[in-house]
Chain A
Amino acid sequence: MRVNVLVFGQIAEITGSVSLEMKDTKDTNELVQRLITDYPKLKSIEYSLAVNRNIVRENTKLKDQDTVALLPPFSGG
């Protein structure tokens, strides 16, 4: 099972790419944990997480071909 991960703003600078692919992640908690293991700098970043474009706050089950997006706030005007 594969999940697409889209990252925005300064998160893309940390991961070095605007999109990633994750295999066999059962839910969003596990996905975030694995991202933090791969990119420890993510730990100090505030962001909202969306599964298939819907912002979610609670741990959410993931299925094949889901898209998870991490959107950080920015304030430039």
Chain B
Amino acid sequence: MESQYHYERYIRQVLLNELGTSGQDRLSMAKVLVIGAGGLGCPALQYLAAAGVGTIGILDFDHVELSNLQRQPLYDPEDTGKAKAVCAANKLKRFNPGVQFNTHNLKLLPANALEIIRPYDIVIDGTDNFATRYLVNDACLILSKPLVYGAVLRFEGQAGVFNLADTESGIKTNYRDLFPKPPAPSSVPSCNEAGVLGVLPGIIGTMQAAEAIKIIAGLGQPLCNKILSINISTNLFYEFSISPLTDQIVQGPKSPEELLNFDYDWFCGMDTVDLEISCDDFDRLRNDGELIIIDIRERGELPEVNEFDFMQIPSGELEEAFTEPLYGKKVVLFCRSGNRSIRAAEMLKKKFPACRIYSLTGGIDTWKRHQGRLVTK
């Protein structure tokens, strides 16, 4: 009975010689993670579920809003306020009970990205901000997972496949080969500000599902090392070819440790990152260990410090002394009053975005007074 249902449900695609029963079997064994259950994620999820992908992960931390429905027809007005990941899973489960849905009702972060992505075969990027896009890209790169990319704005969309080797050349590329640097936040409008025609993410998200299905079933030519740009206003379809860039240009994290410590919000300029550290937090970090403390004053400057271990690198020599990014390490710079150290911290943070660099607020003078207060308390 069940096999008859299975046969009937998928017969129209099993009829395709390029897919057939073996392709359908591959689909039913595949695990696909859709990150973002929004404009791109909804249509991707619906068609992946329709195609009979065996396991589908739905990751989103957001809730359904009325303004989503214009481009996210998976949801109803009654769903507003509900968690998207849970809501989408419930609807899709009714649509195809044969699919296993995993809900990840959370925000993707460097701390959880590898663990969440690891069990899946393919990832679909339906995110809506640069910080998460670079994080998804880097995590997929480290885990060697094919990533189906899509992005939309107004009437234009982009789609492509990353981390999948071209069958002829063996070459693979990723998002950082296309855009090594994120744009300044002020230079790129979001769909919230600039708008988007609802059908556009429908087209791009459906294309992302098609690419995933092609990769799983091993049919056709996936968009490896290419970005397809679509303008639904002018009907211009334009394909770009991407080549791998050298490590000098691309400065993303290359290992799980580096990923964990990569500061995506700072990299994408989303927040003005707080480089200041208070005396209390400084003392706490010193007790935790793993801290590199650098006195950036000129040699012989007073007051002398003998309460803790530190390195002495005068600010003029600092840039040269930092020859490699200190991934995974926290670095605290101090001077006498905190003025020189905040400038040095800003300079180093620009050069090594992955490094956690702080300046001791108020300098060693304030810290010494703070210690005095602790003693007399």
13 contacts between A and B (CB under 8 A): A18-B234, A18-B236, A44-B184, A50-B241, A53-B241, A54-B240, A55-B178, A55-B243, A72-B188, A73-B178, A77-B39, A77-B40, A77-B127
**Contact present for A73 and B183 (CB under 8 Å):** yes
**Contact present for A77 and B241 (CB under 8 Å):** no
Contact with A76, one of B39, B179, B181, B234 (Cβ below 8 angstroms): B39
From DSSP, what is the main secondary structure of chain A's interface residues?
loop
A53 to B242, CA, bound (A): 9
**Contact present for B152 and A76 (CB under 8 Å):** yes
Q: Looking at A6, A9, A44, which has the most chain B CB atoms within 10 Å of its CB?
A: A9
* Interface 1/0 per residue, A44-77 and B, CB below 8 Å: 1110101001110100000000000101111111
| Interface residues of B, count at CB 8 A | 46
**Of residues 91 to 128 in B, which have CB atoms within 8 Å of A's CB atoms?**
125-128
* Interface 1/0 per residue, B72-101 and A, CB below 8 Å: 000000000000000000000000000000
Using a CB–CB cutoff of 8 Å, the interface residues on chain B facing chain A are 36, 38-41, 125-130, 133, 150-154, 156, 158, 178-179, 181-184, 187-191, 194, 196, 201, 227, 229, 231, 234, 236, 238-243, 245, 249
Contact with B240, one of A44, A53, A74 (Cβ below 8 angstroms): A53
A54 to B225, CA, bound (A): 10
Chain A residue at minimal CB-CB distance from B126: A77
Query: Which residues of A are found within 8 Å of B190, using beta-carbon distances?
Result: 75-76
**Contact present for B240 and A50 (CB under 8 Å):** yes
